[in-house]
Structure 1
């Protein structure tokens, strides 16, 4: 496993260096014409990639900008939106390392043939009109590091296939029509960023919620039952931003959130949270934005809020707090429900 991770790290470095040095995608480079001319004739990886992309064109129902019109012939590295780089296990062989079709206004689905792109590092098709779900063949993409299918029309249950992609670190499936339960195993993945907001998921935050090592997590605009588990404290070493607004969260804020001393954004607005703010919040010393708006929180806003050295925005409006708010120079007073 360790050697596998080292291999991935080395390959990512190669991809980044190639992209930066060329300042264009490798497929458009004039620096290596002989490499590409040779590779297209005898490189089985690019032959396989050509088959996968050709199959994908048959699953595309609308391409008004004619992005995929260049997807023909053996020179796969010249296809629009296709990025080539040295293979992770053989730097002398070029392979398809990434796909970026964001904002292309393409409609269609994803065929199982995409599993042939076994060297793929990133797959970005955000802001299109793709529908259906993720192919089960994505389990073969053992090097896939970034998966962004946000702002499309995907539907059905949570795409379980993402749980079996070993190298995945960035998962963005927000703004789709996925529905139903979210598997607790999602929070055991070694992700750095997780965006599942603006779908139709219905689930409860599991007890292993705190196992997630993400730096950014956004779960907003889904139907989440129950409260924030106390295991959130386990995220203290990695978590920077957490947004769980407009989900239906209930219960009090756990005192364990006070351990989140690296969190800069904490947004649980538009929920059904109740009870008093835990005094432990003074431990959230990196907080820049704290949004508690539109809940059922009560009691007095503790003066310890004023001790948060980096706080720039604090909104506790539309709650059941009583008494005056602490007079902090950097906080603009908000109206409580009883005064509105």
Structure 2
């Protein structure tokens, strides 16, 4: 009796024992090890799913492009290393890819974000370099690139994920540059986490348009300026439940933000807000504001209708030109 193998009938054929084939393999948590999976996984011509998290597999990721039904690959929490597995890129029908908790390193090829996946987990590896602009082409609902060594800005192309991206985690990398205005254009975004990076600038007013956001973490960066009230209003007009802005350099908050501080929805510890407890030393704040890491442009327009706020008729025309391919609004 083999464990971890699951059979099913091939699509379009009568459901009889004669048409049964190995459709999925689930080795999750078996503690298995092998120098390579090549010659094993790719030897099942009708395989659709291969789940093998929490084992000790190493070597190269096999080429599965010849498997016509294949759509789920989970190799998380193993000992794979080297560059991003190029055998994954041709898997056009892939719906789920999980490579987290391995020792992959180097850059992530731009075509990876063009895969048709609903979930893409690349976190807890050693990936480095810039996150490619092709991030905007992902159709994933869940995108996690946390706990790597990525550098450079969050791609402004993220606005192209509007309507599909629900949760994105950038935390604990080395991302820098200005906080992109275009993040506020991502409709349906429920979780945005970019904590533990080196991102700077003010929070764009466009963040007030994130009516679906529940968790927003920007802690541990180099953000500065005023915490916009339109963002804090989302706790009343939207779904915001947790807003973490600690360990930055904000100098003030508005009335609605004050209410969130009192209700502990908003965390602004370790900032530069006069009269607030647990703030940075005044001299540290003075040094920062005397020479901030980057001067980021402030866009004074809100690209949506907000309760109690009516943007001017020209607001749409004043949208950061980035969304149309020009440079303005924060990112580099």
Same fold by TM-score, threshold 0.5 exceeded?
yes
Asked if 2 retains the 8 angstrom alpha-carbon contact of 1:288 and 1:310, the reply is: yes
Which secondary structure state, in structure 2, belongs to the residue aligned with residue 328 of structure 1? helix
Aligned residues: 262
Aligned twin of 1:133: 60
Shift of 1:337: 3.2
Alignment partner of 1:319 out of 248, 251, 262: 248
Which secondary structure state, in structure 1, belongs to the residue aligned with residue 14 of structure 2? strand
Shift of 1:89: 4.5
CA distance in 2 between partners of 1:233 and 1:324 (Å): 27
- Structure 2 runs not aligned, ≥5 long: 273-278, 281-332
| Bigger helix share | 1
CA distance in 1 between partners of 2:219 and 2:146 (Å): 14
Cα distance 1:226–1:169, how it changes in 2: closer, same or farther (>3 A)? Answer: same
Cα distance 1:120–1:328, how it changes in 2: closer, same or farther (>3 A)? Answer: farther
Which secondary structure state, in structure 2, belongs to the residue aligned with residue 209 of structure 1? helix
Asked if 2 retains the 8 angstrom alpha-carbon contact of 1:88 and 1:119, the reply is: no
Aligned twin of 2:259: 328
Across the aligned residues of Structure 1 and Structure 2, the Cα RMSD in angstroms comes to 1.4
- 1:207 counterpart = 2:130: no
Alignment partner of 2:225 out of 295, 299, 314: 299
Shift of 1:112: 2.3
Shift of 1:121: 1.0
CA distance in 2 between partners of 1:272 and 1:332 (Å): 20
Segments of 4+ moved more than 6 angstroms? none
Aligned twin of 2:290: none
Cα distance 1:333–1:267, how it changes in 2: closer, same or farther (>3 A)? Answer: closer
CA distance in 1 between partners of 2:134 and 2:49 (Å): 27
CA distance in 1 between partners of 2:182 and 2:152 (Å): 16
- Structure 1 runs not aligned, ≥5 long: 1-69, 71-78
TM-score, with normalisation over the residues of structure 2?
Answer: 0.76
Q: How does 1:243-254 map to 2 (within 5 A)?
A: 243-254=169-180
Aligned twin of 1:102: 28
Asked if 1 retains the 8 angstrom alpha-carbon contact of 2:214 and 2:239, the reply is: yes
Asked if 1 retains the 8 angstrom alpha-carbon contact of 2:178 and 2:200, the reply is: yes
CA distance in 1 between partners of 2:126 and 2:78 (Å): 14
Q: How does 1:277-288 map to 2 (within 5 A)?
A: 277-288=203-214
Q: Which has the higher contact order (CA 8 A, sep 6+)?
A: 2
After superposition, give the CA deviation of every residue in 1:215-265 in whole Å (9 maximum; x if it has no partner): 000001111121112110010110000000111111111111111120111
TM-score, with normalisation over the residues of structure 1?
Answer: 0.74
After superposition, give the CA deviation of every residue in 1:191-225 in whole Å (9 maximum; x if it has no partner): 11100001111121222210001000000111112
Aligned twin of 2:105: 179
CA distance in 2 between partners of 1:333 and 1:127 (Å): 35
CA distance in 2 between partners of 1:318 and 1:114 (Å): 46
After superposition, give the CA deviation of every residue in 1:315-338 in whole Å (9 maximum; x if it has no partner): 100001102462234524421333
